[in-house]
Amino acid sequence: MKNKKWLRSVAFILLLSVAVMGVMQIYGLPKTYDTRNIAAFDAEQEKLVDGVVLGTSVVAHSWLTPVAWQDYGVAIYHLSTSVQPFGIVPEYLDYVQKTQDIKYAIIDIHGLRTEAILSGLRPAKFRAAYLNIPDMESRFKVLKALNSYVQEVYDFYGKPESESNTVDLEDKSYLIPFINFHRRWVDGLKKADYVTVSNRFMGANDRDNSFGVMDCSEFIDRWNFKLTDEIDDFQKGQLQEIFDYAAEKDIELVFINIPSFRSKSEQKEMSEIIEYCKSKGYDTIDFTDSKVFEESGISLSEDFLNKGHLNARGGVKVTKYICEFLIENGYYYTDHRVDEAYIHWHTTAEKYNSFYEKGWAESKA
């Protein structure tokens, strides 16, 4: 074959690869708020973040980076994903550490309750947990961790009978989501499928549903229980992996239980997890504890979006409470508001203020 043909072939393959990659990007994993949140973290400048909050969607609704920044000068992002599998916390922290030098991690324990573990074994949730990570090395580490997590869950609890609650990470579509998601053309694609947009407010919920209100007063009885049981060995094992990792990497841990109204037994289980962490010497914040709840100022009638999540007003209260807790309890604290490197945080915080004011004004109207 002549040189000209070789060159043409290489050029063709390059052009084809670009086209294929582009199409795979568009028709790959559907873009959700998880995508935008992690994209926002990924876009952040290096070595500016002091800590991260990990957990499920309760975190996405409750942690407001702009509020923590504006009121305390604290630089904390959240990297929550919907029903985030608990078994990937160390790998997520590893990913965070690649660009940031975090001093502490705040971990919500909703993902460790048995119901979340079992119902969370869903392909969409797993894909969201690792495919949104832009860094390929970290992505594969998370996938590997998910693999062993699934195996451990199956070994301990047994494989769920329902197919929708099982995941087969050997399936090629876990590596190449395009295999399954290319058929989204049947429903029609939107602009968001073509362009990945970062969350506008450093991960703070920027959707209009932040401003809904549900009166949850009638569910308060679900927080009324006595702690009687110990958490199971699987849960202990998951926590131990995080304890060990944090000790090795010199990251301080705070375990939190953001207020929500799951069933009474689930609420009890989450408080028991918090108790277990406390017994191991870690700081904890259980917002369902009446004293903490009262101190936080969260209103049952005004600060919930639904039974599972806080609205933006509730989020502000949780964020502020956690910041004060960190400062009062001697966690690393520097007020970065005077640092020029953080100038873009000011702008974002201001924009969030406008969004917040406007959101509530419109919701009342």
Partner 1 sequence: MTLISVEFALLWLASAILYFIFPLKYRWTVLLAASTVFYFWGGIGTGYFMLLTVAVVYLTARVLDKYNVEHKEYLKNNPDLTRDEKKALKLKNQKKKRVILSVGLVICFAFLVFLKYFNFLSQQTFGILGIFGVQAKAPEIDLALPLGISFYTLQATSYIVDVYRGKLRAEKNIAKVMLFVSFFPQIIQGPIGRFGHLAPQLYEGHRFNFTQFKYGLQLFLWGLIKKLTLAEYMGIIADEVFTNYNDYKGIIILIGSMVYGVQVYADFSGGMDMIRGVAQVFGIEMAVNFERPYFARSVAEFWRRWHITLGAWMKDYVFYPLSLSKAFASMGKKTRKVFGTYIGKMLPTFLASFVAFFLVGIWHGSSYKYVIYGLWNSVIISGSILLDPVYKKVLKKLKVNTECFSWQLFQIVRTFFLVSIGRIFSRADSLTASFAMLRNMFSEFNPWVLTDGTLYELGLTAREMFLVFLVIIVLFVVSLMQEKGMKIREALDKQNMLFQWLVVIGAIIFLMIYGAYGESFNAADFVYQQF
Binding site for partner 1 (CB under 8 A): 1, 5, 8, 12, 15-16, 19-20, 23-24, 27, 172-173, 178-180, 182-183, 185-186, 188
Our CB check for partner 1 shows the closer of 188 and 330 to be: 188
Return the amino acid letter for 113.
R
Our CB check for partner 1 shows the closer of 24 and 169 to be: 24
DSSP letter at 232 equals: P
Quickly list DSSP for 41-102.
Answer: HHHSPTT---EEEE-SHHHHHH--HHHHHHHH---EEE---TT--GGGHHHHHHHHHHH---
Provide, rounded to whole angstroms, the least separation between the CB of residue 83 and partner 1.
Answer: 20
Helix (H, G, I), strand (E, B) or coil at 285: strand
Provide, rounded to whole angstroms, the least separation between the CB of residue 126 and partner 1.
Answer: 14
Provide, rounded to whole angstroms, the least separation between the CB of residue 18 and partner 1.
Answer: 9
Alpha-carbon gap, residue 96 to 141, rounded angstroms: 13
Q: How far is CA 26 from the centre of its chain?
A: 23
Provide, rounded to whole angstroms, the least separation between the CB of residue 180 and partner 1.
Answer: 5
Interacting residues of 259 by C-beta distance below 8 A, sequence separation 6+: 287, 288, 293, 298, 304, 310, 314, 318
Our CB check for partner 1 shows the closer of 172 and 291 to be: 172
Provide, rounded to whole angstroms, the least separation between the CB of residue 19 and partner 1.
Answer: 5
What angle do the packed helices 136-157 and 89-99 form, to 10 degrees?
Answer: 170
Provide, rounded to whole angstroms, the least separation between the CB of residue 127 and partner 1.
Answer: 12
φ and ψ of 254, to 5 deg = -130, 125
Decide if 305 contacts 61 (C-beta within 8 A): yes
Our CB check for partner 1 shows the closer of 182 and 264 to be: 182
Tally the residues of the chain. Answer: 365
Our CB check for partner 1 shows the closer of 7 and 43 to be: 7
Our CB check for partner 1 shows the closer of 14 and 341 to be: 14
Looking up tokens 């160390």 gives 90
Q: Which two tokens stand for residue 141?
A: 């580490």
Our CB check for partner 1 shows the closer of 21 and 197 to be: 21
Q: How far is CA 68 from the centre of its chain?
A: 17
Our CB check for partner 1 shows the closer of 103 and 182 to be: 182
Alpha-carbon gap, residue 360 to 365, rounded angstroms: 8
Our CB check for partner 1 shows the closer of 8 and 307 to be: 8
Alpha-carbon gap, residue 271 to 349, rounded angstroms: 33
φ and ψ of 51, to 5 deg = -160, 170
Provide, rounded to whole angstroms, the least separation between the CB of residue 25 and partner 1.
Answer: 12
CA–CA distance from 138 to each of 100, 143, 302 (Å)?
14, 9, 40
Provide, rounded to whole angstroms, the least separation between the CB of residue 179 and partner 1.
Answer: 5
Provide, rounded to whole angstroms, the least separation between the CB of residue 151 and partner 1.
Answer: 22
